[in-house]
Structure 1
Protein backbone atom coordinates (compact mmCIF):
# COMPACT_ATOMS: atom_id res chain seq x y z
CA UNK A 1 0.00 0.00 0.00
CA UNK A 2 1.40 3.37 -1.02
CA UNK A 3 1.65 6.11 1.64
CA UNK A 4 -1.13 8.64 1.18
CA UNK A 5 1.09 11.63 0.49
CA UNK A 6 3.24 9.75 -2.04
CA UNK A 7 0.19 8.54 -3.89
CA UNK A 8 -1.30 12.04 -3.93
CA UNK A 9 1.84 13.46 -5.50
CA UNK A 10 1.86 10.71 -8.11
CA UNK A 11 -1.78 11.29 -9.00
CA UNK A 12 -1.29 15.04 -9.17
CA UNK A 13 1.66 14.66 -11.54
CA UNK A 14 -0.19 12.16 -13.71
CA UNK A 15 -3.23 14.42 -13.85
CA UNK A 16 -1.09 17.38 -14.82
CA UNK A 17 0.53 15.41 -17.62
CA UNK A 18 -2.80 14.19 -18.91
CA UNK A 19 -4.66 17.46 -18.43
CA UNK A 20 -6.60 15.81 -15.59
CA UNK A 21 -8.57 17.65 -12.91
CA UNK A 22 -8.63 21.00 -14.71
CA UNK A 23 -10.13 19.24 -17.73
CA UNK A 24 -12.22 16.52 -16.16
CA UNK A 25 -13.51 17.69 -12.82
CA UNK A 26 -16.73 19.61 -12.52
CA UNK A 27 -20.49 19.54 -12.38
CA UNK A 28 -20.87 18.71 -16.08
CA UNK A 29 -19.00 15.40 -16.00
CA UNK A 30 -20.89 12.35 -17.17
CA UNK A 31 -21.33 9.22 -15.10
CA UNK A 32 -18.98 7.44 -17.51
CA UNK A 33 -16.26 10.06 -16.97
CA UNK A 34 -16.59 9.79 -13.21
CA UNK A 35 -16.50 6.00 -13.37
CA UNK A 36 -13.36 6.09 -15.53
CA UNK A 37 -11.65 8.48 -13.13
CA UNK A 38 -12.49 6.25 -10.17
CA UNK A 39 -11.05 3.23 -11.97
CA UNK A 40 -7.76 5.09 -12.46
CA UNK A 41 -7.62 6.17 -8.82
CA UNK A 42 -8.57 2.71 -7.54
CA UNK A 43 -5.85 1.09 -9.63
CA UNK A 44 -3.28 3.56 -8.24
CA UNK A 45 -4.24 2.67 -4.67
CA UNK A 46 -5.18 -1.00 -4.85
CA UNK A 47 -3.50 -2.28 -8.00
CA UNK A 48 -5.42 -5.14 -9.57
CA UNK A 49 -7.32 -6.11 -6.41
CA UNK A 50 -11.04 -6.48 -7.07
CA UNK A 51 -13.39 -4.00 -5.36
CA UNK A 52 -17.02 -5.05 -4.91
CA UNK A 53 -19.99 -2.75 -4.21
CA UNK A 54 -21.60 -3.08 -0.80
CA UNK A 55 -24.74 -1.93 0.99
CA UNK A 56 -23.82 -3.41 4.35
CA UNK A 57 -20.09 -3.31 5.12
CA UNK A 58 -19.66 0.47 4.90
CA UNK A 59 -22.08 3.36 4.45
CA UNK A 60 -21.37 7.05 3.82
CA UNK A 61 -23.39 9.87 5.35
CA UNK A 62 -22.41 13.15 3.68
CA UNK A 63 -24.37 16.26 2.73
CA UNK A 64 -25.66 16.24 -0.85
CA UNK A 65 -24.67 19.91 -1.01
CA UNK A 66 -22.02 21.14 1.41
CA UNK A 67 -22.68 24.30 3.41
CA UNK A 68 -18.93 24.88 3.71
CA UNK A 69 -16.69 23.11 1.18
CA UNK A 70 -13.71 23.39 3.54
CA UNK A 71 -15.56 21.68 6.42
CA UNK A 72 -17.65 18.87 4.98
CA UNK A 73 -18.83 16.43 7.67
CA UNK A 74 -18.47 12.75 6.81
CA UNK A 75 -19.82 9.84 8.84
CA UNK A 76 -18.77 6.31 7.93
CA UNK A 77 -20.77 3.49 9.50
CA UNK A 78 -19.72 -0.15 9.48
CA UNK A 79 -22.75 -2.27 10.47
CA UNK A 80 -20.70 -5.49 10.31
CA UNK A 81 -17.91 -3.95 12.33
CA UNK A 82 -16.21 -7.18 13.37
CA UNK A 83 -15.28 -7.84 9.74
CA UNK A 84 -13.57 -4.49 9.19
CA UNK A 85 -9.80 -4.14 9.20
CA UNK A 86 -9.45 -0.70 7.58
CA UNK A 87 -11.23 2.05 5.67
CA UNK A 88 -9.89 3.97 2.68
CA UNK A 89 -11.63 7.30 2.00
CA UNK A 90 -11.26 8.88 -1.45
CA UNK A 91 -12.55 12.22 -2.78
CA UNK A 92 -12.30 11.57 -6.50
CA UNK A 93 -11.97 15.12 -7.88
CA UNK A 94 -9.76 16.59 -5.18
CA UNK A 95 -6.18 17.48 -6.20
CA UNK A 96 -5.12 14.82 -3.68
CA UNK A 97 -7.92 12.23 -3.96
CA UNK A 98 -6.73 9.72 -1.34
CA UNK A 99 -7.95 11.62 1.71
CA UNK A 100 -7.41 9.07 4.47
CA UNK A 101 -6.47 5.48 5.26
CA UNK A 102 -7.72 4.36 8.68
CA UNK A 103 -6.56 1.05 10.16
CA UNK A 104 -8.39 -0.26 13.24
CA UNK A 105 -6.67 -2.02 16.12
CA UNK A 106 -8.01 -4.30 18.88
CA UNK A 107 -8.89 -1.36 21.16
CA UNK A 108 -11.27 0.12 18.55
CA UNK A 109 -14.98 -0.27 18.13
CA UNK A 110 -15.13 0.40 14.36
CA UNK A 111 -18.89 0.75 14.07
CA UNK A 112 -18.65 4.46 13.21
CA UNK A 113 -16.03 7.03 12.28
CA UNK A 114 -16.56 10.76 11.82
CA UNK A 115 -14.27 13.32 10.21
CA UNK A 116 -14.34 16.62 8.34
CA UNK A 117 -12.86 17.02 4.87
CA UNK A 118 -12.25 19.54 2.11
CA UNK A 119 -14.12 19.02 -1.15
CA UNK A 120 -12.81 20.96 -4.14
CA UNK A 121 -15.38 20.12 -6.81
CA UNK A 122 -18.66 18.39 -7.49
CA UNK A 123 -17.47 14.85 -6.97
CA UNK A 124 -18.08 11.28 -6.00
CA UNK A 125 -16.60 10.22 -2.69
CA UNK A 126 -15.71 6.59 -2.07
CA UNK A 127 -15.32 4.63 1.15
CA UNK A 128 -13.58 1.31 0.60
CA UNK A 129 -13.84 -1.16 3.45
CA UNK A 130 -10.99 -3.63 3.74
CA UNK A 131 -12.12 -6.78 5.54
CA UNK A 132 -10.03 -9.01 7.75
CA UNK A 133 -10.01 -11.72 5.06
CA UNK A 134 -8.53 -9.28 2.52
CA UNK A 135 -11.66 -8.30 0.60
CA UNK A 136 -12.38 -4.76 -0.65
CA UNK A 137 -15.91 -3.34 -0.72
CA UNK A 138 -16.96 0.15 -1.80
CA UNK A 139 -19.73 2.63 -1.08
CA UNK A 140 -20.17 5.81 -3.12
CA UNK A 141 -21.92 9.15 -2.66
CA UNK A 142 -22.05 12.29 -4.78
CA UNK A 143 -21.28 15.58 -3.01
CA UNK A 144 -21.81 19.08 -4.41
CA UNK A 145 -19.11 21.46 -3.21
CA UNK A 146 -16.55 23.80 -4.71
CA UNK A 147 -13.26 25.38 -3.68
CA UNK A 148 -12.71 23.61 -0.38
CA UNK A 149 -9.00 22.96 -0.89
CA UNK A 150 -8.18 26.59 -1.75
CA UNK A 151 -10.55 28.29 0.72
CA UNK A 152 -8.61 30.80 2.88
CA UNK A 153 -8.44 30.31 6.64
CA UNK A 154 -9.92 33.74 7.39
CA UNK A 155 -6.89 34.68 9.52
CA UNK A 156 -3.16 35.14 9.07
CA UNK A 157 -0.93 32.10 8.78
CA UNK A 158 0.67 33.00 12.10
CA UNK A 159 -2.71 33.09 13.85
CA UNK A 160 -3.71 29.79 12.23
CA UNK A 161 -0.55 28.15 13.59
CA UNK A 162 -0.92 29.38 17.17
CA UNK A 163 -1.23 26.48 19.56
CA UNK A 164 -0.46 24.00 16.79
CA UNK A 165 -0.55 20.48 18.17
CA UNK A 166 -2.85 21.27 21.10
CA UNK A 167 -5.39 18.48 21.61
CA UNK A 168 -8.68 17.94 23.39
CA UNK A 169 -10.88 14.89 23.71
CA UNK A 170 -14.53 14.60 24.63
CA UNK A 171 -16.29 11.44 25.73
CA UNK A 172 -19.99 10.67 25.49
CA UNK A 173 -21.54 9.30 28.65
CA UNK A 174 -20.88 5.58 28.58
CA UNK A 175 -22.60 2.52 29.97
CA UNK A 176 -20.94 -0.65 31.27
CA UNK A 177 -20.24 -3.12 28.46
CA UNK A 178 -21.07 -0.61 25.73
CA UNK A 179 -18.58 1.03 23.31
CA UNK A 180 -17.26 4.41 24.40
CA UNK A 181 -17.78 7.26 21.93
CA UNK A 182 -14.87 9.73 21.79
CA UNK A 183 -14.16 12.90 19.81
CA UNK A 184 -10.58 14.02 19.23
CA UNK A 185 -9.86 17.66 18.34
CA UNK A 186 -6.40 18.74 17.16
CA UNK A 187 -5.24 22.31 16.64
CA UNK A 188 -3.47 22.37 13.26
CA UNK A 189 -4.11 24.49 10.13
CA UNK A 190 -3.62 21.57 7.73
CA UNK A 191 -2.52 24.02 5.04
CA UNK A 192 -3.26 22.50 1.64
CA UNK A 193 -0.66 24.39 -0.37
CA UNK A 194 -3.47 25.89 -2.46
CA UNK A 195 -4.48 28.65 -0.04
CA UNK A 196 -3.37 32.21 -0.72
CA UNK A 197 -2.08 34.36 2.13
CA UNK A 198 -4.48 37.31 2.16
CA UNK A 199 -1.70 39.73 3.18
CA UNK A 200 1.31 38.68 1.08
CA UNK A 201 -0.73 37.21 -1.82
CA UNK A 202 1.65 34.26 -1.85
CA UNK A 203 0.54 30.68 -1.53
CA UNK A 204 1.02 29.20 1.93
CA UNK A 205 3.22 26.08 1.76
CA UNK A 206 1.45 22.81 2.46
CA UNK A 207 1.64 21.71 6.08
CA UNK A 208 -0.75 19.01 7.20
CA UNK A 209 -1.03 16.12 9.63
CA UNK A 210 0.01 13.02 7.74
CA UNK A 211 0.07 10.47 10.55
CA UNK A 212 -2.12 10.00 13.59
CA UNK A 213 -1.82 7.10 16.01
CA UNK A 214 -4.28 6.51 18.85
CA UNK A 215 -3.57 3.82 21.45
CA UNK A 216 -5.17 2.70 24.69
CA UNK A 217 -2.83 1.03 27.11
CA UNK A 218 -0.66 -1.24 24.99
CA UNK A 219 -3.27 -1.69 22.23
CA UNK A 220 -3.90 0.33 19.06
CA UNK A 221 -7.25 2.03 18.62
CA UNK A 222 -6.56 3.27 15.10
CA UNK A 223 -3.93 4.79 12.87
CA UNK A 224 -4.79 7.40 10.26
CA UNK A 225 -2.64 8.35 7.29
CA UNK A 226 -3.94 11.64 5.92
CA UNK A 227 -3.32 14.32 3.35
CA UNK A 228 -4.43 17.83 2.37
CA UNK A 229 -8.09 16.81 2.05
CA UNK A 230 -8.51 16.64 5.83
CA UNK A 231 -9.95 19.94 7.08
CA UNK A 232 -8.08 22.41 9.24
CA UNK A 233 -8.18 21.74 12.99
CA UNK A 234 -9.13 18.07 12.48
CA UNK A 235 -12.04 16.63 14.44
CA UNK A 236 -12.35 12.85 14.49
CA UNK A 237 -15.09 10.87 16.17
CA UNK A 238 -14.45 7.19 16.92
CA UNK A 239 -15.44 4.32 19.17
CA UNK A 240 -13.52 2.45 21.87
CA UNK A 241 -13.81 -1.22 22.68
CA UNK A 242 -15.56 -1.36 26.10
CA UNK A 243 -13.09 -4.01 27.27
CA UNK A 244 -10.09 -1.69 26.83
CA UNK A 245 -8.00 -0.58 29.77
CA UNK A 246 -5.74 2.36 30.50
CA UNK A 247 -5.40 5.95 29.25
CA UNK A 248 -5.57 7.01 25.61
CA UNK A 249 -2.38 8.26 24.00
CA UNK A 250 -2.49 10.31 20.80
CA UNK A 251 0.60 10.88 18.65
CA UNK A 252 0.35 13.21 15.65
CA UNK A 253 2.97 14.21 13.10
CA UNK A 254 2.91 16.47 10.06
CA UNK A 255 4.71 16.56 6.71
CA UNK A 256 7.17 19.21 7.93
CA UNK A 257 8.47 17.18 10.86
CA UNK A 258 6.19 18.48 13.61
CA UNK A 259 5.26 15.92 16.26
CA UNK A 260 2.92 16.14 19.22
CA UNK A 261 1.68 13.72 21.88
CA UNK A 262 -1.02 13.90 24.51
CA UNK A 263 -2.67 11.47 26.94
CA UNK A 264 -6.29 11.37 28.06
CA UNK A 265 -8.05 9.49 30.84
CA UNK A 266 -11.18 7.60 29.82
CA UNK A 267 -14.01 8.27 32.28
CA UNK A 268 -15.57 5.33 34.08
CA UNK A 269 -18.95 4.26 32.62
CA UNK A 270 -22.15 5.21 34.43
CA UNK A 271 -24.25 2.49 35.99
Structure 2
Protein backbone atom coordinates (compact mmCIF):
# COMPACT_ATOMS: atom_id res chain seq x y z
CA UNK A 1 0.00 0.00 0.00
CA UNK A 2 2.88 2.35 0.83
CA UNK A 3 4.43 1.67 -2.58
CA UNK A 4 1.13 2.40 -4.32
CA UNK A 5 0.90 5.69 -2.40
CA UNK A 6 4.38 6.71 -3.57
CA UNK A 7 3.53 5.88 -7.18
CA UNK A 8 0.33 7.96 -6.89
CA UNK A 9 2.31 10.96 -5.67
CA UNK A 10 4.82 10.62 -8.48
CA UNK A 11 2.03 10.40 -11.05
CA UNK A 12 0.14 13.44 -9.74
CA UNK A 13 2.04 16.11 -11.76
CA UNK A 14 1.55 14.13 -14.97
CA UNK A 15 -2.17 13.71 -14.26
CA UNK A 16 -2.47 17.45 -13.60
CA UNK A 17 -1.30 18.13 -17.15
CA UNK A 18 -3.61 15.54 -18.73
CA UNK A 19 -6.25 17.93 -20.05
CA UNK A 20 -8.72 17.61 -22.91
CA UNK A 21 -7.40 20.55 -24.91
CA UNK A 22 -3.66 21.05 -24.29
CA UNK A 23 -1.56 23.47 -26.32
CA UNK A 24 -0.82 22.25 -29.86
CA UNK A 25 2.33 22.79 -31.96
CA UNK A 26 1.98 26.25 -33.48
CA UNK A 27 4.05 27.72 -36.29
CA UNK A 28 2.36 31.04 -35.63
CA UNK A 29 3.72 31.04 -32.08
CA UNK A 30 7.16 29.94 -33.26
CA UNK A 31 7.24 32.97 -35.57
CA UNK A 32 6.05 35.50 -32.99
CA UNK A 33 7.59 34.17 -29.77
CA UNK A 34 10.63 36.43 -29.71
CA UNK A 35 8.68 39.59 -30.54
CA UNK A 36 6.10 38.84 -27.83
CA UNK A 37 8.30 37.78 -24.92
CA UNK A 38 11.73 39.10 -25.93
CA UNK A 39 13.42 35.72 -26.25
CA UNK A 40 13.22 32.76 -28.61
CA UNK A 41 13.52 30.37 -25.70
CA UNK A 42 10.24 28.54 -25.06
CA UNK A 43 8.95 29.18 -21.51
CA UNK A 44 8.32 25.94 -19.62
CA UNK A 45 4.77 24.76 -19.06
CA UNK A 46 4.62 24.23 -15.31
CA UNK A 47 1.21 23.48 -13.70
CA UNK A 48 2.84 23.77 -10.27
CA UNK A 49 3.26 27.50 -11.00
CA UNK A 50 0.57 28.55 -13.55
CA UNK A 51 -2.64 27.10 -14.97
CA UNK A 52 -4.98 28.31 -17.71
CA UNK A 53 -8.47 26.94 -18.23
CA UNK A 54 -10.54 27.57 -21.37
CA UNK A 55 -13.34 25.64 -23.08
CA UNK A 56 -12.39 22.93 -25.56
CA UNK A 57 -15.10 24.28 -27.88
CA UNK A 58 -16.43 27.78 -27.23
CA UNK A 59 -20.17 28.38 -27.09
CA UNK A 60 -19.64 31.96 -28.27
CA UNK A 61 -16.35 32.82 -30.05
CA UNK A 62 -16.74 36.48 -29.08
CA UNK A 63 -17.06 35.66 -25.36
CA UNK A 64 -14.54 32.93 -24.57
CA UNK A 65 -13.87 32.68 -20.80
CA UNK A 66 -10.18 32.45 -19.90
CA UNK A 67 -9.39 31.55 -16.29
CA UNK A 68 -5.79 31.85 -15.07
CA UNK A 69 -4.90 30.43 -11.66
CA UNK A 70 -1.97 29.43 -9.47
CA UNK A 71 -1.78 26.67 -6.87
CA UNK A 72 -1.28 27.76 -3.25
CA UNK A 73 2.36 28.56 -2.51
CA UNK A 74 3.28 29.26 -6.16
CA UNK A 75 5.74 32.13 -6.73
CA UNK A 76 4.23 35.56 -7.37
CA UNK A 77 3.36 36.62 -10.92
CA UNK A 78 4.32 40.23 -11.63
CA UNK A 79 3.34 40.44 -15.32
CA UNK A 80 1.49 38.33 -17.85
CA UNK A 81 0.93 38.35 -21.62
CA UNK A 82 -2.26 36.79 -22.93
CA UNK A 83 -1.89 35.58 -26.53
CA UNK A 84 -4.33 34.10 -29.05
CA UNK A 85 -2.04 32.69 -31.74
CA UNK A 86 -4.56 32.79 -34.60
CA UNK A 87 -6.08 36.21 -33.98
CA UNK A 88 -5.34 39.12 -36.35
CA UNK A 89 -3.63 40.88 -33.42
CA UNK A 90 -2.40 37.92 -31.36
CA UNK A 91 -1.46 39.75 -28.14
CA UNK A 92 -4.84 40.16 -26.48
CA UNK A 93 -3.51 42.02 -23.44
CA UNK A 94 -0.51 42.58 -21.21
CA UNK A 95 -1.19 42.68 -17.48
CA UNK A 96 0.75 43.61 -14.36
CA UNK A 97 -0.38 42.40 -10.94
CA UNK A 98 0.03 43.58 -7.37
CA UNK A 99 0.71 41.34 -4.39
CA UNK A 100 -2.91 41.53 -3.23
CA UNK A 101 -3.86 39.25 -6.16
CA UNK A 102 -1.41 36.48 -5.25
CA UNK A 103 -1.75 33.57 -5.72
CA UNK A 104 -3.35 34.54 -9.01
CA UNK A 105 -7.00 33.73 -9.71
CA UNK A 106 -8.01 35.93 -12.64
CA UNK A 107 -10.65 35.61 -15.33
CA UNK A 108 -11.35 37.58 -18.51
CA UNK A 109 -13.34 36.99 -21.72
CA UNK A 110 -11.67 37.02 -25.15
CA UNK A 111 -12.56 36.98 -28.81
CA UNK A 112 -11.11 33.97 -30.67
CA UNK A 113 -11.08 34.26 -34.46
CA UNK A 114 -10.00 30.77 -35.52
CA UNK A 115 -9.12 27.41 -33.96
CA UNK A 116 -6.11 28.45 -31.94
CA UNK A 117 -3.86 28.04 -28.96
CA UNK A 118 -4.64 30.54 -26.21
CA UNK A 119 -1.64 31.00 -23.94
CA UNK A 120 -0.56 32.98 -20.91
CA UNK A 121 3.13 33.78 -20.48
CA UNK A 122 3.85 34.89 -16.94
CA UNK A 123 6.88 36.70 -15.56
CA UNK A 124 7.61 35.65 -11.98
CA UNK A 125 9.03 37.84 -9.23
CA UNK A 126 12.47 36.25 -9.73
CA UNK A 127 12.43 37.06 -13.47
CA UNK A 128 11.66 33.55 -14.73
CA UNK A 129 8.96 33.01 -17.35
CA UNK A 130 6.42 30.19 -17.36
CA UNK A 131 3.57 29.39 -19.73
CA UNK A 132 0.13 27.80 -19.60
CA UNK A 133 -2.52 27.41 -22.26
CA UNK A 134 -5.29 25.55 -24.03
CA UNK A 135 -6.28 24.85 -27.63
CA UNK A 136 -9.70 26.44 -28.21
CA UNK A 137 -12.03 25.52 -31.05
CA UNK A 138 -13.78 28.74 -31.99
CA UNK A 139 -14.02 30.88 -35.11
CA UNK A 140 -15.28 34.28 -36.15
CA UNK A 141 -15.03 35.95 -32.74
CA UNK A 142 -13.24 39.07 -33.93
CA UNK A 143 -15.85 39.82 -36.61
CA UNK A 144 -18.94 38.78 -34.62
CA UNK A 145 -21.61 41.54 -34.60
CA UNK A 146 -21.91 43.72 -31.52
CA UNK A 147 -24.57 42.63 -29.05
CA UNK A 148 -26.26 46.05 -28.90
CA UNK A 149 -27.37 48.76 -31.28
CA UNK A 150 -25.09 51.74 -31.86
CA UNK A 151 -27.53 53.94 -29.92
CA UNK A 152 -27.30 51.61 -26.91
CA UNK A 153 -23.53 51.50 -27.22
CA UNK A 154 -23.16 55.27 -27.11
CA UNK A 155 -25.69 55.71 -24.31
CA UNK A 156 -23.98 53.35 -21.87
CA UNK A 157 -20.29 53.56 -22.85
CA UNK A 158 -18.02 53.86 -19.82
CA UNK A 159 -20.54 52.75 -17.22
CA UNK A 160 -18.94 50.53 -14.56
CA UNK A 161 -20.04 48.18 -11.83
CA UNK A 162 -17.99 46.44 -9.18
CA UNK A 163 -19.06 43.56 -6.98
CA UNK A 164 -17.18 42.08 -4.05
CA UNK A 165 -17.99 38.69 -2.52
CA UNK A 166 -16.32 35.91 -0.55
CA UNK A 167 -15.64 32.61 -2.26
CA UNK A 168 -13.46 29.68 -1.25
CA UNK A 169 -11.89 31.61 1.58
CA UNK A 170 -10.85 34.55 -0.61
CA UNK A 171 -12.33 37.91 -1.55
CA UNK A 172 -13.52 38.00 -5.16
CA UNK A 173 -13.87 41.23 -7.11
CA UNK A 174 -15.81 41.46 -10.36
CA UNK A 175 -15.39 44.59 -12.48
CA UNK A 176 -17.77 45.17 -15.39
CA UNK A 177 -17.27 47.98 -17.92
CA UNK A 178 -19.67 48.98 -20.68
CA UNK A 179 -17.72 49.39 -23.90
CA UNK A 180 -18.22 47.84 -27.37
CA UNK A 181 -14.48 47.18 -27.78
CA UNK A 182 -14.94 47.29 -31.55
CA UNK A 183 -12.27 45.17 -33.24
CA UNK A 184 -12.18 46.95 -36.62
CA UNK A 185 -13.43 43.74 -38.27
CA UNK A 186 -17.13 44.09 -37.47
CA UNK A 187 -19.89 45.56 -39.62
CA UNK A 188 -22.68 47.89 -38.61
CA UNK A 189 -25.79 45.71 -38.98
CA UNK A 190 -27.80 48.67 -40.33
CA UNK A 191 -25.37 50.34 -42.76
CA UNK A 192 -23.23 47.21 -43.39
CA UNK A 193 -20.17 49.45 -43.21
CA UNK A 194 -17.10 48.32 -41.30
CA UNK A 195 -16.94 49.80 -37.80
CA UNK A 196 -13.52 51.31 -37.03
CA UNK A 197 -11.54 49.79 -34.18
CA UNK A 198 -12.42 51.45 -30.87
CA UNK A 199 -11.56 49.68 -27.61
CA UNK A 200 -10.39 50.11 -24.05
CA UNK A 201 -6.64 50.32 -24.38
CA UNK A 202 -5.46 50.91 -20.82
CA UNK A 203 -6.98 49.99 -17.50
CA UNK A 204 -5.67 50.58 -13.99
CA UNK A 205 -7.34 49.13 -10.91
CA UNK A 206 -6.14 50.21 -7.45
CA UNK A 207 -7.06 49.67 -3.83
CA UNK A 208 -6.14 52.88 -2.09
CA UNK A 209 -2.70 53.74 -3.47
CA UNK A 210 -1.75 50.08 -4.07
CA UNK A 211 -2.01 48.58 -7.54
CA UNK A 212 -4.30 45.59 -7.97
CA UNK A 213 -3.74 45.18 -11.71
CA UNK A 214 -3.14 47.09 -14.93
CA UNK A 215 -3.97 46.13 -18.50
CA UNK A 216 -2.68 47.29 -21.86
CA UNK A 217 -5.05 45.70 -24.37
CA UNK A 218 -5.68 45.11 -28.06
CA UNK A 219 -8.76 44.11 -30.07
CA UNK A 220 -9.25 40.65 -28.55
CA UNK A 221 -10.82 41.63 -25.22
CA UNK A 222 -14.56 41.03 -25.45
CA UNK A 223 -17.36 43.55 -25.75
CA UNK A 224 -18.44 44.88 -22.32
CA UNK A 225 -15.36 43.39 -20.66
CA UNK A 226 -15.62 41.64 -17.31
CA UNK A 227 -12.65 41.04 -15.02
CA UNK A 228 -13.00 38.63 -12.11
CA UNK A 229 -10.15 38.37 -9.63
CA UNK A 230 -9.33 37.07 -6.17
CA UNK A 231 -7.68 39.68 -3.94
CA UNK A 232 -7.31 40.86 -0.36
CA UNK A 233 -10.14 43.36 0.08
CA UNK A 234 -8.90 46.22 2.24
CA UNK A 235 -10.53 49.49 1.30
CA UNK A 236 -12.12 51.31 -1.66
CA UNK A 237 -11.30 50.22 -5.21
CA UNK A 238 -10.65 52.82 -7.91
CA UNK A 239 -10.72 52.25 -11.67
CA UNK A 240 -9.13 54.35 -14.42
CA UNK A 241 -9.90 53.37 -18.03
CA UNK A 242 -8.97 54.98 -21.34
CA UNK A 243 -9.95 53.92 -24.84
CA UNK A 244 -8.31 54.39 -28.23
CA UNK A 245 -10.36 57.54 -28.85
CA UNK A 246 -8.86 59.21 -25.77
CA UNK A 247 -12.03 58.94 -23.68
CA UNK A 248 -11.27 58.56 -19.98
CA UNK A 249 -13.45 57.11 -17.24
CA UNK A 250 -12.70 57.13 -13.52
CA UNK A 251 -14.80 55.60 -10.81
CA UNK A 252 -14.38 54.50 -7.19
CA UNK A 253 -16.20 51.77 -5.32
CA UNK A 254 -16.44 51.10 -1.59
CA UNK A 255 -16.06 47.35 -2.04
CA UNK A 256 -19.63 46.80 -3.24
CA UNK A 257 -21.60 47.46 -6.40
Shorter-chain TM-score bucket reads 0.7 to 0.9
Partner residue in 2 for 1:133? 126
Match of 1:210 in 2: 201
Matched residue of 2:184: which SS?
A: coil
Aligned match of 1:77 = 69
Most deviating of 55-64 and 151-160: 151-160
Moved over 6 A (4+): none
Deviation at 1:159, TM superposition (A): 2.0
CA gap of 1:93–1:263, structure 2 versus 1, over 3 A, is same
Residue 58 of structure 2 contacts residue 64 of structure 2 at CA under 8 Å; is this kept in 1? yes
Query: 1:1-271 alignment to 2 at 5 Å?
Result: 32=25, 34=26, 36-48=27-39, 50=41, 51-79=43-71, 80-173=73-166, 179-242=170-233, 245-266=234-255
- RMSD, aligned CA: 1.7
Write the distance in 2 (CA, Å) between the matches of 1:140 and 1:183. 23
Q: How many residues align?
A: 231
Segment of structure 1 superposing worse, 224-233 or 74-83: 74-83
Q: Distance in 1 between matches of 2:202 and 2:252?
A: 17
C-alpha contact 1:107 1:215 (8 A) present in aligned 2: no
Helix, strand or coil at the partner of 2:142 = coil
Q: Please, what TM-score do these two structures have when normalized by structure 1? A: 0.80
Q: Give unpaired runs (5+ residues) of structure 2.
A: 1-23
Q: Structure 1: which 5+ runs fail to align?
A: 1-30
- Residue 110 of structure 1 deviates from its aligned partner by 4.1
Using structure 2 for the length normalisation, give the TM-score: 0.85
